[in-house]
Chain A
Amino acid sequence: MSQLLSQVFATLSALLLAPLLLGWVDQSRAWLANRSGPGILQPYRTLHKLFNKESVMADTASPLFRFVPYLIFGCMLLASAIIPTLSTDLPLARAADAIALVGLFALARVFLALAAMDIGTAFGTLGARREMLIGFLAEPALLTVLFSSSLIANSTALKTIVNKVSQNEFTIYPSLVFAAMAFVLVFLAENARVPVDNPATHLELTMIHEALILEYSGRHLALLEWAAALKLFAYSTIGIALFLPWGITGGMDPQRVILALVFLILKLALLGVILALVETLSAKLRIFRVPEFLATAFLLGVIGMLTHILLGS
C-alpha cells in the first residue's frame, strides 16, 4: 500500500515539477540575456490557456492524429514514473530497465513523426524527417551512456545503478566522466535545446520540434507541451540518477522522501541554470553539423565503456 503511495507521490511530483523546470530554464535564459522574463509559472499559464481553448482539426486528419497526443503524454508520464527520482523503491521501476526506457522514448518519437506526416503539410514532413535524423543518431549515443553506467552496477535496471553509486563509498569512475559528457550532448539534442534546435522560435528553416506540433491546437497542443516538459524532466532525472544520485533514498520513509524531494528540487534548479548557460553561450548548429555533434556523443559513450574495461573501475 505504501509502495503504491510512494509511486503516486513520485509521479505526481514529476507531473507538477516538469512545467516548473521548463519555466525555470526559460526564466534563467531570459535573465542571462538581460531580459526580465515571463516568470517561472508561465508554462502553467500556457497549459491553462491551451486546455480552455477549442481544438481545431484539419479536414485531412486521420484518427491517428487525434490519439497521438494522449499516447505521447502517456509515454512520457510512464517514463517519469519508471525513473527513480525520490526513492528507488518504486513498484513500476521493476517494469522496465534502462533499455526499455529508451524504447519508450523511441515509441513516442515514432508516433509524433507519424502524426506530423499525417496531415500532409510540408512543415510537418520536414520536421518529422529532421526529428528522425536526430533520433536515430541520439539513441545509440544514449544507449552507450546507459551501458557505461550499467557496467559499473552490473545491471541495466536504473534502480540498481542508483543504489550502487549512491550507497557505496565515494569512488571516482573515469568512465562516468565520459558518459556524463556524452549524456549532456544527447540531452541537448533530444530535448530540442539550442545547439540543435531552438525552442523559442518558429523559424521555418531551423525548427524541428516546433514543426512537428505545428498543426496541433487547444488541449492536444497542451498535452504535447506538457509531454515535452515531462521529457525534459525525465532526461534531467535520468542524468541525476546516473551521475548525481546522492539524496535519493532507498526506502519509503515519508521524512526521507520529503528530504529527497528537497534535494531533487535543488539539483533541478542547478541543472536548469547550467542548461540555460549552455544555451546562451552556444550558437545553433547548422542541421548538417548535427550528425557530427551526435557522433561526438556516441564516441564519448564508447570511450567511456572502453576506459571502464581498461582501467577496471
Chain B
Amino acid sequence: MSNISIQLINLFAAFLLMLAFAMLAQRRVLNLVHIYALQGFTVVAATSVVAYVTHQDHLYFSAVMTLVLKVFFIPWVLHRLIKRLNVRWDVETLINIPSTMLVGIVLVVFAFNLALPVSRLSSSVSPGTLGIALACVLLSFMMMITRSKAIPQVIGFLSMENALVFAATSATYGMPMVVELGIALDVLVGVFILGLFMFQIREQFESLDISHLENLKEG
C-alpha cells in the first residue's frame, strides 16, 4: 500500500520538475498561467497523498487551500490581469531558450547534490523529493532572472512558492497550520500588490518591461 503511495509522490515530484522546465521553455504568457495552475494541482495531489500516508489531517486543509487559491483563484486573477493589461504577446527572454534549458540541467544537478546529504538524514516517506523541490525553487529563480517582462516574473515568484510548499510537505510533513495560513495570505496579498504595481509600471512607462525601471535612478 504505502509502497505505491511513495511511488506516487515521487511521480508527482517528477511532474513538478517537468512543469518547471515547461515554464522555462514557454514563450506565451497565457500558457504560463495554465502551467502554473497545473503545477498547483500537482502540489495538491502530492499533499493529499502525503496526508493519506501519514494520517496528518491538517495536510488535507492545506491541500484544499492550495486547490482553491493556487489552482483556481490566482490563475483567474492573472487571467484578468492579462486581459486588462492586454499583454498576450510572446514573452521576451534575455537568454535564448535552449541555453536557458542547459543552465537548467546544471542547476538540477547542483540542487540534487546539495540535497543528497540532507535527505540522507531525513526520515520522511520520500527523502529523494527534497532535491527535486530544491531544483524547482532554483529553476523558478532562474525564470525570474531570465524574463524581462513583469507577468512572467510574477509567475516565477508564485511557482517558487509552490515548490517551497512541496518541499515542506514532502520533507517535513508540512509546516504548522498557522505558518501555512500566513504564507497563503502573503502570496495572495503579494499577487494583489504586484498586480497593482503592474498597472502603475505600465502607466508610467507604457510597457511592462522591467528594464525601464532603471531610468528611475537618474530622475
Contacts and interface: CB of A to CB of B under 8 A. Distances in A.
Interface of A: 171-172, 174-175, 177-178, 181, 291-292, 295-296, 299-300, 302-303, 306-307, 309-313
In this complex, the member of B4, B8, B14 whose beta carbon has the largest number of chain A beta carbons within 10 angstroms is B14
Contact of A172 (B7, B108, B112, B131): B7
Given A291-B98, A307-B17, A174 B108 contact: no
A196 to B, nearest CB: 16
Contacts of B101: 295-296, 299
Given A291-B98, A306-B112, A178 B14 contact: yes
Contact of B10 (A181, A302, A306, A311): A311
B18 interface: yes
B65 interface: no
Given A299-B101, A300-B18, A174 B109 contact: no
Given A303-B18, A306-B108, A306-B112, A292 B98 contact: yes
B181 interface: no
B59 interface: no
A16 B131 CA distance: 48
Contact of B8 (A172, A178, A310): A172
9 contacts: A172-B10, A174-B14, A292-B25, A296-B21, A299-B102, A299-B105, A306-B105, A307-B132, A311-B128
A296 B14 contact: no
B194 interface: no
B46 to A, nearest CB: 12
B interface residue count range (under 10 / 10 to 19 / 20 to 34 / 35 or more): 20 to 34
B75 interface: no
A302 B131 CA distance: 16
Given A299-B21, A299-B104, A306-B109, A171 B7 contact: yes
A183 to B, nearest CB: 14
A303 B131 CA distance: 13
Looking at A174, A295, A300, the one whose CB has the most chain B CB atoms below 10 A away is A174
Nearest to B126: A311
Contacts of B25: 292, 296
Interface string B1-31: 0001001101101110110010001000000
B95 to A, nearest CB: 13
A309 B132 CA distance: 12
A307 B105 contact: no
B97 interface: yes
Given A300-B18, A303-B18, A311-B128, A177 B11 contact: yes
A306 B132 CA distance: 10
A80 to B, nearest CB: 31
Q: Counting chain B CB atoms within 10 Å of each CB, which of A175, A177, A295, A303 scores highest? A: A303
Given A299-B104, A307-B132, A311-B10, A178 B18 contact: yes
A181 B15 CA distance: 11
Nearest to B4: A172
Nearest to B112: A310
Nearest to B115: A310
B14 A175 contact: yes
A312 B14 contact: no
A66 B76 CA distance: 62
